[in-house]
Structure 1
Amino acid sequence: MGTTMELVILGSAGGPQPHPGKAAPATAVVVDGDIHVIDCGNGVGRQIVSAGLELTDLRSVLVTHHHVDHNADLGALVHLAWTAARCEPVDVYGPAPLESMIKQYLELNEPDIGHRESLGRPALAGVFRPHEVSGPGTVHEADGVRISAAVATHPPMPSFSYRVDTHGRSVVVSGDTARCDEVVELSRGAGVLVHEAYSPDHLAEFMAGSNTKIERLRQHFARAHTSAEDAGRVAAEAGVRTLVLWHLIPWQLSDEEYAAQAARTFDGEIVVAHDLQRIPV
């Protein structure tokens, strides 16, 4: 039986505010049943089981950067996998201060952890296996799966994009980034590129109810995020087969509008991400 690889969209919205029907940013790359989660927005554990996956199959967690919509449930995800009977270590990758964040999470939740350990569970601290990512290159290689990182452009936050390869199949997840050569190179020849996308003409919709000044937000997006049209450019330059538009801002915009913006610059397959969507690779 050959290797299977599947992309599962766990959360497709962008930004920290909860949205009806759109969960916070998270994706799963499933290789022969092993789950590699990239980003851990709020509710990621529930999204995993809603997708029909098992928390006990969690193999690794990769955090692109430390904005709350991407890391809110980092500790909780491994914690929940442990309560579901995951005893083997889960490799956790991300930029500093990843190790101290996990240590603080364990300290903060000691009342719960200590009680559960007193009932005979193995130590939760031993399930977390943190690795701080400080630069580009291979970060994980085991069981026929190689995961590589590239430095993304998301000032002022250190941020990484990740590529998962196995037996000639590949998925790249951009995380948050402006259009940059590093992500193009990481994505070169990939089967699927999951790339953030926003619509510059519709940022005011995203701002509804926010306490952020619109002009400052526009400036931030211009230097730290990628429009749907530029996501198409990245996909075209990298020669990917399928572009998945994800981390959608604003989430209210139609699939047709997002796809049309990306199609100005990319003539391959374009998918607009939806929560719990499954995409074979």
Structure 2
Amino acid sequence: MTDMLTLLGTKGGPAIRPGGPNPTSSLLTLSGRRIVIDCGLGVSRALVETGMLLKELDLIFITHLHSDHVLELGPLLHTAWTTGLAHQVTVYGPCGTQALWQGFLQSMAFDIQIRIDDEGRPDLAQLVTIVEYGPGLVLDGDGLRVDALRVDHPPVTDCFALKFGGNGKTIVFSADTAYFAPLAEFATGADVLVHEAMLPEGIEGIVRRTGNGARLYEHLVASHSFAAEAGRVAADARVGCLVLNHLIPADDPNFGEKDWIEALQPVWSGPLVVGKDGISVPL
């Protein structure tokens, strides 16, 4: 199993538009484990299109509980179950993940019970273990280590960057965050930094399309990073490669890869991947 990062959904925010990318989710293959990071809308289909069998689902990590990161957590697990999942899956998420999962189980109680009785399936609730985590060491075993760093994503307080280490490689996911200097220390020397990014010019179009545009603008500026800020973190951390993800805007035809590259030129000259749904980055 080749160590690989595959971007399943690269759009920042929950809205979807014709022909546009999906909200945030990624698949990290590391140390023989398949790890899903965040479960935005479309993650189940995107995983299948990588060639992965959903019944092989192994580990899931949720960075925070905004809908574009967690909306399809329950449906992913349920769909995996209906395709033959019969082993334990562990979901690591911030405080509130257990309540989210229990709410999903309650909402699907009729379907789950009918499939247990009629199709002889195991009890889905017994196959999923939820582990709520905070800052610090999250997991260390079987050749995989995961650490978490609380980042700056107001008004959400439980939002965490995640650092995965295994097989001699390190990859860091920024999660959603405003520019946060401690993230550079957290990611120092990482092979890959996956960092969210915005284009200042692109925000204007989003504000025009949105009814509560002024309030949304305030949120975006206070809670997210501009591309140049992501580049600054990557440079300070001396990472091997910067991957831009959770792009804002991601579905505006007026902006393309060259705009992201130009935004980074003053601060980052290293290897760069501008996120697109379905692309893979070898580690």
CA deviation after TM superposition for structure 1 residue 274, in Å: 0.6
Runs of 5+ unmatched residues, structure 1: none
Equivalent residue, structure 2, for 1:228: 227
Residue 278 (structure 1) aligns with:
280
Give aligned-pair identity as a percent.
36
- The answer to whether structure 1 residue 133 and structure 2 residue 133 are counterparts is yes
How big is the shift at 1:206? 2.1
Which blocks of at least 5 consecutive residues in structure 2 are unaligned? none
CA–CA separation in structure 2 for the residues paired with 1:244 and 1:78 = 27
Deviates more, 1:103-112 or 1:181-190: 181-190
After alignment, is 258-267 or 199-208 more displaced? 199-208
Separation of aligned partners in 1, 2:265 and 2:240:
13
TM-score (norm 2): 0.93
The amino acid that maps onto 2:261 is A
Q: How many residues are matched?
A: 277
Cα-to-partner distance string for 1:33-76 (whole Å, 9 max, x where unaligned): 53211111011000101122221222111111111111100111
Counterpart CA distance in 1 for 2:13 and 2:150 is 20
Aligned letter for 1:18?
A: I
How far apart are the structure 2 equivalents of 1:128 and 1:262? Answer: 41
Shift of 1:115: 1.3
Q: Does the residue aligned with 1:102 lie in a helix, a strand or coil?
A: helix
Question: Is residue 269 from structure 1 mapped to residue 271 from structure 2 by the alignment?
Answer: yes
2:29 matched to 1:5?
Answer: no
Q: Which residue does the alignment assign to 1:189?
A: 189
Residues 249-273 of structure 1: CA distance to partner in whole angstroms, max 9, x if unpaired?
1112211111221222112111101
Q: Once the two structures are superposed, what CA deviation does each residue of 1:165-210 show, in whole Å capped at 9, x if it has no partner?
A: 1121121111110111332222111111110000112212223432
Q: Secondary structure at the match of 2:170?
A: strand
1:219-245 superposed Cα distances (whole Å, 9 cap, x missing partner): 222221000000000000111010011
> Partners in 2 of 1:211 and 1:99 — Cα distance?
33
| 1:69 match | 68
Q: Indicate how the Cα distance of structure 1 residues 254 and 140 shifts in structure 2: closer, same or farther if over 3 A, else same.
A: same
CA contact (8 A) 2:202 2:249 kept: yes
Q: Is the 8 A contact 1:171 1:190 kept in 2?
A: yes
d(CA) in 1 for partners of 2:72, 2:140: 24
Which residue matches 1:174?
174
Q: Is the 8 A contact 2:207 2:217 kept in 1?
A: no
Is the CA contact 2:163–2:173 (under 8 Å) kept in the aligned structure 1?
Answer: yes
Q: 1:144 to 1:32 in 2, by over 3 A?
A: closer
SS in 1 for 2:262: helix
- Correspondence for 2:46: 47
> Does the CA-based 8 Å contact 1:263-1:270 persist in structure 2?
no
Partner of 1:159: 159
Q: What is the aligned partner in structure 2 of residue 116 from structure 1?
A: 115
Distance in 2 (CA, whole Å) between partners of 1:171 and 1:33 is 15
Contact in 1 for aligned 2:243/2:274 (Cα 8 Å): yes
Q: Distance in 1 between matches of 2:60 and 2:138?
A: 12
CA distance in 2, matches of 1:39, 1:208: 28
Query: Cα RMSD between the aligned structures?
Result: 1.4
Greater shift in the superposed pair: 188-197 or 138-147: 138-147
Separation in 2, partners of 1:33, 1:56: 16
Displaced runs of 4 or more, over 4 A: none
**8 Å contact kept, 2:31–2:167:** no
Q: What is the TM-score normalised by the length of structure 1? A: 0.94
User: Partners of 1:182 and 1:49 in 2: how far apart?
Assistant: 36
Q: Is the 8 A contact 1:151 1:183 kept in 2?
A: no
SS of equivalent to 1:39: strand
1:28 paired with 2:49, answer: no
Contact 1:176/1:224 (<8 A) preserved? yes
Distance across 1 between alignment mates of 2:115 and 2:208: 42
